[in-house]
Each structure stands twice: as C-alpha cells, then as structure tokens.
Amino acid sequence: KVLRQQLLTAIDNQELEVHYQPILSTEALGIRKVEALLRWSSPTYGAISPSEFIPLAESNGSIVNIGRWVFQQVCRDLSSFNDQGLSLRAAVNISAMQLMQPHLLNELLEAVKDNGLSPYSLELEITESVLMSGDSFFTSLQNLREHGFRISLDDFGTGFSSLSYLRRFPVDVIKIDRSFISEITHSQSDDTLVKAIIELSHNLGLLVVSEGIELKIQFDMLRNLGSDELQGYYISKPLKASGIISFLSQDT
C-alpha cells in the first residue's frame, strides 16, 4: 500500500529513470535501436523491478502519467543522442491503459515534434493480450501507424494468438519471446518453431527481433535463421543514457 502511494509521487520526486538496451541489426551489425526500460528507485525500498511496479501502476491508473513521462523522456534522450552524433530509434513499452487514452496519439506527436524527431523514431511495444482484447485497440493502433509510429508485438509466442493472426494484426515488428530463445539451444522442436515464425513473419513483411540472447550459440543460431535484430545480455544489458553513448563510441 505504501509502495502504491509512493508510485503516485515518483515522477515529481524524480525517482524514475529510463535505461536503454541496445538492439543489434544483423544486416549492418550495428546498433540503430534501443529498448527503453523504466527504472524506479523508491526512497524506502530502493530499486524496484518494473515487473513489480508496472502492474501496480496499471492497477491504480498511474501508468498513464508514468507512461507519458517515459515517452517524453525517451524523446529528450533521443534528441540528446542526436546532438552527440548518434542517430538512434527507440522501442517503448506501452500499456493497454495508455492505448485507451484518446489523447495518446496527440501526446506522442507532440513529444516527437518538440524534440525535433519524427514518429518513425519510436516503435511502440504492445503485448499480444492487447491485440486479442478488442476492436478499439485495433483502431487505435491503426491510427498510430497511419501517423508513422511503428508497432511492435512484444513477447510473441507467450499469448493466445496463433501464427495465422499475424496477418490481421496492425503491426510492423514481432519480438520472439526469450523463452523460445533459451530453449533453442537444447531442443530441436523450438528451433523448428522459431524458424517457422521468422519465415512466416518475413512473408508477411514483418521485421523480426529475437530477445533474451544470452549466449554466443544463440546469437549465431538466430542470425543464421534470419532474425533481423538481436537483443539480450550477450550484446548488452540495459544501460543508462550516458552509458549508451560510451557503449556505442567504443563499438564503432
């Protein structure tokens, strides 16, 4: 209960920070995109994982303000990366409750514009459950897409959707969930499944990201299977904005 209360004042008290995990493009073997991951240090409890506080924020509605702060901060950071000669895009996790806000589109447009960016700079990560839970989300996602924001289907394979749904979804990118990636090194069947997901996605014109790459063998396998982008601790853990600058300047 105390935690829930503290969450409401976390923005004003400057307790939130966005970290960025580099995403490697396999074709260019370079970093062109990062995933924005929220971090919270509570004054009484210290660092709290988003998997704990995001559900809390969703339950008391504060996710709307927090999520807005996140994409505004991401735009400020991307603009600052630009000033330092780094052209990066960012994937931002968006909750269902944010998508239900009629002002989301305008707020996103304003955030990119205020920072001299275009909507193409942002990829909005949503989960399968959002797509399965109604037509209003569908319309809202289509609208965001028409304005130039890319839509990415996060944690693909963990939800209810079958591969055949991919054709109907208003998405540009799919992220294969890390549970498949961790299995791929031991099990023949997951290799086949991941291969099928990648092939089908490509046939539908979707870009494929593999997340949770922790080992060289996974990196090599996913690259050979044609995954367009790779993300995971093997490439880099999430870094502070300042860490992104130094990571990329030693990288190139």
| Binding-site ranges for Na ion (CB under 5 A) | 154-155
Binding-site string for ligand G from residue 56 to residue 95, where x marks contact by CB under 6 A and - marks none: -----------x--x----------------------x-x
Binding-site string for Mn ion from residue 144 to residue 173, where x marks contact by CB under 5 A and - marks none: ----------x-------------------
Contact predicate 231/210, CB 8 Å: yes
- Closest separation between CB of residue 194 and ligand G, Å? 16
Q: How far apart are CA 223 and CA 205, in angstroms?
A: 18
- Window of 102-110, 128-136, 211-219, 242-250 that interacts with ligand G by CB under 6 A: 211-219
For ligand G, the binding residue among 211, 229, 230, 239 (CB under 6 A) is: 211
Q: Which three-class secondary structure state does DSSP give residue 162? A: coil
Containing H/E element for 94?
Answer: none
User: Taking CB within 5 to 8 Å according to partner kind, which of Na ion, Mn ion, ligand G, none is near residue 119?
Assistant: none
Name residues contacting Mn ion, limited to 201-240 (CB under 5 A): none
For Mn ion, the binding residue among 77, 123, 125, 229 (CB under 5 A) is: 125
Q: Which is nearer to Mn ion, 6 or 239 (CB)?
A: 239
163 to 69, 148, 208: CA distances (angstroms): 34, 25, 13
- Window of 140-148, 160-168, 186-194, 212-220 that interacts with ligand G by CB under 6 A: 212-220
Which residues does residue 35 pair with via DSSP β-bridges, in sequence order? 21, 91
Q: How far apart are CA 149 and CA 168, in angstroms?
A: 18
| Chain centroid offset of residue 130 CA | 14
Q: Which is nearer to ligand G, 83 or 238 (CB)?
A: 238
Name residues contacting ligand G, limited to 146-165 (CB under 6 A): 154-155
Orientation of helix 2-9 relative to helix 50-60, angle to 10°: 80
Q: Which is nearer to ligand G, 177 or 198 (CB)?
A: 177
User: Taking CB within 5 to 8 Å according to partner kind, which of Mn ion, ligand G, Na ion, none is near residue 49?
Assistant: ligand G
97 to 58, 82, 140, 184, 252: CA distances (angstroms): 7, 31, 12, 33, 39
Classify burial at 203, counting beta carbons within 10 Å of its beta carbon; exposed 0-12, middle 13-18, buried 19 or more. exposed
110 to 82, 119, 241: CA distances (angstroms): 18, 10, 22
Name residues contacting ligand G, limited to 10-39 (CB under 6 A): 21, 37-38
**Binding site residues, ligand G, CB under 6 A:** 21, 37-38, 49-51, 54, 67, 70, 93, 95, 154-155, 178, 211-214, 232-233, 238
Q: Which residues bind Mn ion (CB under 5 A)?
A: 93, 125, 154
